[in-house]
């Protein structure tokens, strides 16, 4: 049986920095509230003249491929995670394929699992490699949230949290035992679908889109923050525990935990419960906010750039979000 190793990782964030004080100028919020409740100090907003989810994904992918010593022609499959697609259909993966020059005929799959999107994508890619079907799979998470947020006081509990960005990982087949992706665990519970969602426009409408829908709050993201928070802390710990148990490991075996960047308080809670020392959990939510499917690959790429991931390290990834969906992965780097 084959293993998947992470051969290269890269990220791209738009240039425009939006601070908490910038948001306080357009809605009733404050740097103090946002910092205290979420840990976020600033986030990036895309440039509508330049950035799309596919261009941002392509930029992150170029870096990841370069670091892997590979070219777009070497990619056997694309798995593209986003909750903010360029078109309703087709998926954004094919648009990135075109932009990157990945040859026609290479399959591309879009994954719509929000904050867990990258983790689901990683798992899908890993299965294709393990079965021997593909050798090199490009896994991308890319999001533009800023264009869809309700940037008024009405939408402040969501608007202050989310930011734009993209990350990519190149997975490649290896026959080395005990290296690469050791396990992935995926979960979902659709009972909570409406607790974190955008409901409109919807195919269930008699007419998919009309002027009333445009003005309706349902066409902006909704989050039951308290409920999501409570489920997140439980599921993060559960799914990390599941990964450790499946590999006969304990939290002492982890060199670095990279949680989905949802809230610094969630990361800190998980760190303390797992009895991990400060510095063993990587966070960059302070700079980027929550970039949903892009958050883990951006964090992975930054951690690697900062020398926090070394060969032989055991890296744990975990995510929770809309669906609800949640997932973990253990990687021997
Ligand atoms: O990535 C997907 C997973 N997402 C998450 O895991 C997010 C989970 N949830 C959270 O991170 C937190 O619930 C939030 C950061 C969203 C909210 O923090 P909270 O401590 O749960 O605050 P709250 O919703 O209970 O609101 C407390 C107060 C309310 O005012 P009252 O009713 O106490 O007068 C809100 O209206 O804070 C108010 N509020 C704000 N005030 C200033 C809500 N948003 C804001 C804001 N600025 N942006």
Q: How far is the CA of 22 from the centre of ligand 1 (A)?
A: 18
Ligand 1 atom 25, closest CA: 226
The single residue of 3, 11, 113, 115 carrying the catalytic annotation is 115
Ligand 1 atom 42, closest CA: 29
CATH class for the region spanning 180-332: alpha beta
Main-chain phi, psi angles of 172, to 5 degrees = -135, 150
155: tokens are 């939408």
Q: Residue 89 pLDDT more than 90?
A: yes
Give the pLDDT confidence score for residue 66 in this predicted structure: 98
- Residue to mutate (ligand 1; options 37, 41, 160, 192; most atoms within 8 A of CB): 37
State the chain's mean pLDDT as an integer.
Answer: 97
Alpha carbon separation from 316 to 9, 103, 268, 298, 329 (Å, rounded): 16, 33, 15, 15, 6
Describe the crossing of helices 53-68 and 295-305 by its angle, rounded to 10 degrees. 40
Describe the crossing of helices 117-130 and 295-305 by its angle, rounded to 10 degrees. 80
Give the pLDDT confidence score for residue 144 in this predicted structure: 98
Q: How far is the CA of 289 from the centre of ligand 1 (A)?
A: 14
Give the pLDDT confidence score for residue 331 in this predicted structure: 98
State yes or no: is 290 an active-site residue. yes
According to DSSP, the residues that pair with 138 across neighbouring strands are: 78, 170
According to DSSP, the residues that pair with 187 across neighbouring strands are: 326
128: tokens are 């294709």
Give the pLDDT confidence score for residue 182 in this predicted structure: 98
Question: What CA dihedral angle connects 109, 112, 115 and 120, to 10 degrees?
Answer: -40
Ligand 1 atom 13, closest CA: 225
Q: Residue 1 pLDDT more than 90?
A: no
State yes or no: is 260 an active-site residue. yes
pLDDT tens per residue across span 175-209:
998 999 999 999 999 999 999 999 999 999 999 99
In the chain, what percentage of residues exceed pLDDT 90? Answer: 98
The C-alpha atoms of residue 333 and residue 329 are separated, in whole angstroms, by 12
Give the pLDDT confidence score for residue 134 in this predicted structure: 98
Mark residue 214 as left, alpha or beta (left: phi above 0; alpha: psi -120 to 50; beta: remaining): alpha
Mean pLDDT over residues 287-313, rounded?
A: 98
Common-topology check for domains 3-174 and 180-332: yes
| Banded model confidence at residue 59, pLDDT cuts 50, 70, 90 | very high
208: tokens are 């998919």
309: tokens are 């991931």
For domain 3-174, give the CATH number. 3.40.47.10
pLDDT tens per residue across span 127-177:
999 999 999 999 999 999 999 999 999 999 999 999 999 999 999 999 998
Describe the crossing of helices 264-273 and 31-38 by its angle, rounded to 10 degrees. 30
Cβ-Cβ contacts under 8 Å for 15 (sequence gap 6 or more): 44, 47
Q: How far is the CA of 291 from the centre of ligand 1 (A)?
A: 17
The single residue of 20, 260, 284, 316 carrying the catalytic annotation is 260
Alpha carbon separation from 68 to 63, 71, 102, 132, 169 (Å, rounded): 9, 9, 16, 20, 9
Ligand 1 site, CB within 6 A: 29, 33, 37-38, 115, 156-157, 160, 225-226, 228-229, 232, 262-263, 266, 290, 320-321
26: tokens are 């357009």
Give the pLDDT confidence score for residue 149 in this predicted structure: 96
Is residue 77 within 8 A of residue 122, CB to CB? The reply is: no
Ligand 1 atom 5, closest CA: 262
- Residue to mutate (ligand 1; options 27, 225, 231, 266; most atoms within 8 A of CB): 225
Q: Can you tell me which atom of ligand 1 is nearest the CA of 225?
A: 13
Ligand 1 atom 10, closest CA: 225
pLDDT tens per residue across span 21-56:
999 999 999 999 999 999 999 999 999 999 999 999
Q: What does the domain layout of the chain look like in residue ranges?
A: 3-174, 180-332
Main-chain phi, psi angles of 189, to 5 degrees = -145, 100
């Amino acid at each position: 049986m084959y293993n998947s190793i992470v051969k290269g990782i890269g990220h791209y964030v738009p240039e425009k920095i939006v601070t908490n004080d910038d948001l306080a100028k357009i809605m009733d919020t404050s740097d103090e509230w946002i910092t205290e409740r979420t840990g976020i100090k600033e986030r990036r907003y895309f440039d509508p003249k330049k950035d799309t989810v596919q261009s941002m994904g392509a930029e992150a992918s170029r870096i990841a491929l370069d670091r892997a010593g590979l070219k777009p022609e070497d990619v056997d499959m694309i798995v593209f995670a986003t909750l903010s697609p360029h078109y309703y259909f087709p998926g954004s993966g094919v648009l990135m394929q075109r932009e990157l020059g990945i040859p026609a005929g290479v399959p591309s799959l879009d994954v719509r699992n929000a904050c867990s999107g990258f983790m689901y994508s990683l798992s899908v890619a890993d299965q294709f490699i393990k079965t021997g079907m593909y050798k090199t799979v490009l896994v991308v998470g890319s999001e533009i949230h800023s264009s869809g947020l309700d940037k008024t006081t009405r939408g402040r509990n969501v608007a202050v949290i989310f930011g734009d960005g993209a990350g990519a990982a190149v997975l490649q087949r290896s026959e080395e035992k005990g290296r690469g992706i050791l396990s992935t665990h995926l979960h979902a519970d659709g009972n909570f679908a409406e607790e974190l969602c955008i409901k409109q426009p919807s195919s269930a409408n008699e007419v998919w889109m009309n002027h009333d829908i445009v003005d309706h709050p349902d066409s902006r993201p909704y989050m039951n923050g308290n409920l999501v928070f409570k489920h997140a802390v439980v599921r993060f710990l559960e799914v990390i525990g599941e990964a450790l148990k499946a590999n006969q490991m304990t939290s002492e075996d982890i060199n670095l935990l990279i949680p989905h960047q949802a809230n610094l308080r969630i990361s800190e809670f998980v760190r303390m419960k797992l009895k991990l020392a400060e510095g063993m959990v990587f966070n960059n939510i302070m700079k980027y906010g929550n970039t949903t499917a892009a958050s883990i690959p951006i964090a992975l790429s930054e951690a690697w750039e900062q020398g926090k991931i070394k060969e032989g390290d055991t890296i744990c990834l975990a995510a929770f979000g809309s669906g609800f969906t949640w997932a973990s992965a253990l990687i021997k780097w």
